Structure formats: structure tokens, C-alpha cells
Amino acid sequence: MSVNRPFTRAQRATIVAGMLAFVLVLVVLQLWLLTATMNAYLGGDDSVVWPAAIASASTCCSTWGCSGLSRN
């Protein structure tokens, strides 16, 4: 029989720190994507806007999902 033990405080802190680092990377990626898209759009390249919007929406959903996991 296996016993289901809850995580210790140190294990939970490690998991939360890893999730926060992942969310931070996603937020920085989103800011870079916004900057690159605005640079291209203001330079006259309209073909970048919709793919960047889709990538930004998927990144936003990933960030929201990761932050939702930390509430449990």
C-alpha cells in the first residue's frame, strides 16, 4: 500500500519558486513580443500583427493557467 503524504514546506516552496520563475519568463516573453510587434507595425509591416496577437493570447492563457495552479 502506498501512503499519500502531503508535500513538506520546503518542497512546496521549491515548487512555487519554479512556477513563479516560469510565469516570469512568460511575462518577459509577452513584453518582448509586444515590443517587437509594435516596432514592426510602426515600421509598416502589417503581416506580423495577427500572428503576434495569437501568440500573445496563448502566452496569456498559459500564464493564467500556471497562476491558477499555484492556488491549490
pLDDT given for residue 5 in this prediction: 84
Asked if residues 23 and 67 have their Cβ atoms less than 8 Å apart, the reply is yes
Express each pLDDT in 17-68 by its tens digit.
Answer: 998 899 899 999 999 999 999 999 999 999 999 999 999 999 988 888 877 7
Dist. CA 16–CA 10, nearest whole Å: 10
The sign of the CA dihedral 55, 56, 57, 63 is positive
Average pLDDT over all residues of the chain: 88
What pTM was computed for the model?
0.76
Burial class (CB in 10 A: 0-12, 13-18, 19+), 33: middle
Q: Which three cell numbers stand for residue 52?
A: 503576434
Express each pLDDT in 21-35 by its tens digit.
Answer: 998 999 999 999 999
